[in-house]
Structure 1
Amino acid sequence: MIQIKQLLRTPSNLFVLVCFATCCFACAIPHTSVPTGIYPKIPQKIPAPDASAAIVPEGYKVEIFMKDLIWPTSIEFDESGNVYVAEAGYVYGDLVAPTPIFKISLDGTIVRFAEGFIGPVTDLLWHNDLLYVSHKGKISTVSQAGNITDIITDLPSYGDHQNNGMSIGPDGKLYFGQGTVTNSGIVGLDNVYPYVWLMLYPEEHDIPAKDIKLTNESFLTPQANNVLARQGNLLSFGSNLTYAVTSLFNRNKNTSLLVRTRGFNAFGEKSKTIKGQVKSSGTILRANLDGSGLEVYAWGLRNPFGVVWGADGQLYVTDNGYDARGSRPIANAKDNIFQIKQDAWYGFPDFSSGIPVTDPQFRSQRGSKIEFLMKAHPELDMPWMTRPANSATAKFDFSTNDSFGFQGHIFLAEFGSGTPATGEANFSGYSVVRIDPATKQAQAFLSTRATEQELESGAVAGPRRPVEAKFSRNGEALYIVDIGVIGFDLAGAGPFPSPAPGTGVIWRITKTGNNAAAPPGNLSPMPPKANSN
């Protein structure tokens, strides 16, 4: 009999199951269980990207390096001047897009360097003639010949967040961020909408890096499996898919309408003592360059996305704050930048920016009073800097060249608010900010001329949703990876994510008058090769 996990982690089968699950959930869950209201819809005609719509400081110029991309998430450079660009293969609302990595030569030639990864691809890193790829549940390497080798596998990345950014440390080891499975420690119905994974991977839950004991706090939730099982007669599948769907919806014999779930437990389970593991949630992990010797470097993060060792020998990490959603909604949680210390704990799931989530400022209109999940807490390390709630701090880089300017400053991409999926409306992000480490002051460096509604809907010609700011190897050009237009449509049990493929852009910023050697701009990726079968 086919193994369920193997079946579900095959992209073609996953697509069919996701379509089935999304349809069933829309039929089963009433409008009152999710945010409702009027949200900006994606315009029928999305403006073409236009560098003149981007705002940068005087003395800098913006151009389009690449366009027509499907969910680009990362850019990297090798010693020969070649550029590598990854398309994610997954965003909310588009779960099975392809995952190519393009190689762009100095003359502008574009080839498909590698593909077949598990979306989302979240980061690229070039080191010692290998391209390291962080993609769902794995770290892989790609040789110059295009051969792919998985060096780290089975990471806990089948929930809300995945394994993320990578960096080489002063010790020559590979460091990367691993996100949590849930929003705030509890598996619930928010993991059905809009994240879908509870139906596909019902055993998933957050895993601590060290042994912990839980309080009596638990959450009563409608039995999602029973609700969905009652929709099972809507569609029929082949024997393998029928077996998988039946197994998912009947993994236990619980016929009650409501179930209780504790933190760090699978849906409907209530253990109070949880064993720590190396492949754990909300961590910075490190390993040898071949993937061996995997260990926990720090823990207690929520979604450590950007991971960069600075020239000062400090490890800087961006971490996304909680959302006001799910069984344990936490409002007004800021995003953070941490200087990571070995073996330190950063507060997930009971602290936000160093403040207990029991503080009244985090009380959401959509939930009850917040209590701790962990019975005892390790010593807490504080954030180096905070950013606005829901700005969605993403990947960043340090300026290293006086010819560009602001040497030593951080250039941080901020994806922007995810309202309504993230809870209460909170408009921020959609830009790249420059941070002076000496003063911790942030100023806009790249933004676009648009209203809030235009930014939320994607009806802009300038930058829309930056996910990475990355300097070229010589430090003379700053590249901004803009994933593209992702909005929401109020339909069915929605609002549901409504992304627009092909709207991804790579923007390039240089000092006016700087004509350093680089590939030409305004490139578009090659179309897929025709299938000869």
Structure 2
Amino acid sequence: MLAAAAGLLLVPLAVAQNQSGTPVSGGWVPRVAHKPDPSKIVVPKGYKVDVFVAGLDTPSAATVDGEGNVWVAISGNLFGPFEWEYAGQRVKNPVGGPHVEVFDKNGKHLKDIGVGMFHFVMNEIGYCAENNKVYIPEYSQNIWEIDGLNGRLKKIITDLPIGDHQIGGITCKDGWLYWGQGFPSNAGFADPDNHGWTDQVDPFWEKHGDPNLPKTARDPVCRDVVHTGLNVRSSDGRLTGALLPVGVPAKPGMVIKAQVPCGGSIMRVRIGDNEKNSDGLYHHEQMEVYAMGFRNQSGVRFGPKGSRFENALAVSDNGVNDLGHRRIANGAEKLWIVTEKGQDGGFPDKEGMGFVTNKRYSLRAYNGAKVDRPYPQLYIGDKPWVPQLPPYRFPPHVEGVRGVPLIIANPNPNGYLNPVLEWDTNNPFDGIAWGDQRFGVKDTLFGAIFGVIDNGPDSLVPTWPAVIRVEFLEPAGVKWSYFMRNVDPGPGAYQKPENRGGMERTNDVVFTNDGKTMLVVDYGELYIDYSMPSPFFTTPKSGVIWKVTYTGQ
């Protein structure tokens, strides 16, 4: 079957690029990768773009070890199609499973690691110079460790909650290992109308949940929460409380107890504490919550040594999607700077700069007609939630109120952290890396923008794929600019023929050890057509690691 698929992938390029497929026949026209062309990418003067490695399947992140080797996390075929019909044949997609590929500093392939051992997508990877080990988060519940290229792959963290957002970025500092633990749901609810995992028994809750509650997945909180009693009634008739298992309603004033580990957090463990345990794993009692109140933390990076950000942790965070019965609109992608333990971004009641009760987060105004409630499936306890109108009146074209109700009745007494940058809604701000003078910058962070998948609509002008530059100014302030972008904005797969060959889906950035070269991980072509039975086409061998070198000229 693989041989047949390989043959079909040799269809003429024009055919593969100009036809997404035929819904009537139920089959995709097989797509082939464009040859990467650095001339289709724009960078500032003084920088040069080359191809480091091409022809990869679904690269999602990279790290550079002490010897300069480049470790690339290969996600595997998450989106599909896994097989399809074409020209009367059943074709299997040749994109392989999750693993890690290692290249030397010149791009020569050295080794594949973890083939057949990982069972779900690889989203991040990180090297710790303090102990010369590479840490590999397997998105579904596990973190692995390997001591050098010829070391043994060991599972060191497991027993984590499942959901839409699980393990994100990973890094180390001063003997601690830090990772992003995602907030499982979209906006606080295990709502079966927009999630597929809500009726699934979660081993985490089987072991650590209230014995009187179902063992299905939901959002574990980082501090004790007093509940407003906010519920949703899903299309199957069940009433579900925020932060509770599907089908379990909330009551005003009830308390949801904190968990460790918890969702939407930066967790940490003291490196080496797992060696105290006979199973070699870090246990929950050895974990600490370093920061909280995020949603889906793709990148976590401390600033460069000797800089004013040396002890500051940058966190890139994917904002809430505009879906579900507690629909929060216009949730931005965010960049945070965490400066001390215990800081709280406020999610799921605070989305970036403001609380969701602000009018920015609701698309519709409510003008008082009870039959036209903006969120008809929301309840406080068992009573329908109806917004309260203000005592003053506005002109008819702006009459009413907008906003989304809160879940948490007890605000954090220590206050809240605000992001330093908000990015275009639903265009994920993923991997991040700090640059310094060796790359011609100072106090500057670079971030990869992956792009919209199925949570549009998109903006009038595409803001992806791209690498953006975020400069931290003196004495205060932030300035951002595009650092790396296609000649024509938008992904290469949808470009005019003369502009193809640029970036598709930038997912991570990392610097080589000399600091002069940035490597940009490009996941490759993910073609989307929701008129097809399988809406995504993961194009084989379309992933690229781009190389951007500082020339100073």
Query: Which TM-score tier does this pair reach, normalised by the shorter chain?
Result: 0.7 to 0.9
CA distance in 2, matches of 1:142, 1:262: 41
Task: Report Cα offsets for 1:166-186 as digits up to 9, x if no partner.
Answer: 1212x3211111111111011
Preserved contact between residue 90 and residue 119 of structure 1 (Cα < 8 Å): no
Higher mean C-alpha displacement, 505-514 vs 124-133: 505-514
1:388 shift after superposition = 2.3
Ranked by relative contact order (alpha carbons within 8 Å, sequence separation 6 or more), the top structure is 1
SS state at 2:123 partner:
strand
Partner of 1:263 in structure 2?
A: 242
Preserved contact between residue 185 and residue 206 of structure 1 (Cα < 8 Å): yes
Could you tell me which of 292, 306, 313 is aligned with 2:299?
306
Task: Letter of the 1:101 partner, please give it.
Answer: V
**Structure 2: where are the runs of 5+ without partners?**
1-27, 83-94, 203-215, 275-281, 365-372, 376-402
Partner of 2:356 in structure 1?
A: 357
Preserved contact between residue 430 and residue 455 of structure 1 (Cα < 8 Å): no
CA distance in 2, matches of 1:383, 1:356: 13
CA distance in 2, matches of 1:434, 1:449: 17
Partner of 2:483 in structure 1?
A: 445
Could you tell me which of 472, 493, 497 is aligned with 2:512?
472
Does the C-alpha gap of structure 1 residues 415 and 207 become closer, same or farther in structure 2, counting only changes over 3 Å? same
Could you tell me which of 154, 161, 170 is aligned with 2:159?
154
Does the C-alpha gap of structure 1 residues 190 and 447 become closer, same or farther in structure 2, counting only changes over 3 Å? farther
CA distance in 1, matches of 2:36, 2:193: 34
Could you tell me which of 377, 386, 389 is aligned with 2:411?
377
Compute the RMSD of aligned alpha carbons: 2.6
CA distance in 2, matches of 1:329, 1:87: 33
Q: State the identity as a percent.
A: 27
Task: Report Cα offsets for 1:426-466 as digits up to 9, x if no partner.
Answer: 34331001111114111111111235486668984111111
Could you tell me which of 147, 166, 169 is aligned with 1:165?
169
1:267-416 correspondence to structure 2 within 5 Å: 267-271=246-250, 272-290=254-272, 291=274, 292=282, 293-311=286-304, 312=309, 313-340=311-338, 341-364=340-363, 368=375, 370-378=404-412, 379-402=415-438, 404-416=439-451
Partner of 2:42 in structure 1?
A: 55
Q: TM-score, normalised by structure 1?
A: 0.75
Task: Letter of the 1:217 partner, please give it.
Answer: L
CA distance in 1, matches of 2:552, 2:181: 40
1:364 shift after superposition = 3.5
Could you tell me which of 234, 238, 244 is aligned with 1:221?
234
CA distance in 1, matches of 2:190, 2:81: 22
Task: Report Cα offsets for 1:329-359 as digits up to 9, x if no partner.
Answer: 2111112111113112211111111311112
Task: Report Cα offsets for 1:180-206 as digits up to 9, x if no partner.
Answer: 1111011224544xxx43465571111
1:362 shift after superposition = 0.9
Does the C-alpha gap of structure 1 residues 94 and 205 become closer, same or farther in structure 2, counting only changes over 3 Å? farther
Partner of 1:73 in structure 2?
A: 60
SS state at 1:121 partner:
coil
CA distance in 2, matches of 1:201, 1:72: 30
Preserved contact between residue 520 and residue 545 of structure 2 (Cα < 8 Å): yes
SS state at 1:416 partner:
coil
Task: Letter of the 2:125 partner, please give it.
Answer: L
Preserved contact between residue 329 and residue 367 of structure 1 (Cα < 8 Å): no
SS state at 1:123 partner:
coil
Preserved contact between residue 431 and residue 507 of structure 2 (Cα < 8 Å): yes
Is 1:512 the counterpart of 2:545 in the alignment?
no
Partner of 2:7 in structure 1?
A: none
Higher mean C-alpha displacement, 145-154 vs 176-185: 145-154
Preserved contact between residue 492 and residue 503 of structure 2 (Cα < 8 Å): no
CA distance in 2, matches of 1:412, 1:147: 31
CA distance in 2, matches of 1:478, 1:273: 47
SS state at 1:391 partner:
coil
Structure showing greater Rg: 2
**Structure 1: where are the runs of 5+ without partners?**
1-40, 224-257, 515-533
SS state at 1:218 partner:
strand
Does the C-alpha gap of structure 1 residues 187 and 197 become closer, same or farther in structure 2, counting only changes over 3 Å? same
1:480-495 correspondence to structure 2 within 5 Å: 480-491=520-531
Q: TM-score, normalised by structure 2?
A: 0.73
SS state at 1:52 partner:
helix
CA distance in 2, matches of 1:270, 1:456: 45
Does the C-alpha gap of structure 1 residues 71 and 46 become closer, same or farther in structure 2, counting only changes over 3 Å? closer
Preserved contact between residue 38 and residue 51 of structure 2 (Cα < 8 Å): yes
CA distance in 1, matches of 2:201, 2:495: 31
CA distance in 2, matches of 1:453, 1:129: 36
1:386 shift after superposition = 1.9
Does the C-alpha gap of structure 1 residues 222 and 495 become closer, same or farther in structure 2, counting only changes over 3 Å? farther
Partner of 2:205 in structure 1?
A: none
1:487 shift after superposition = 3.1
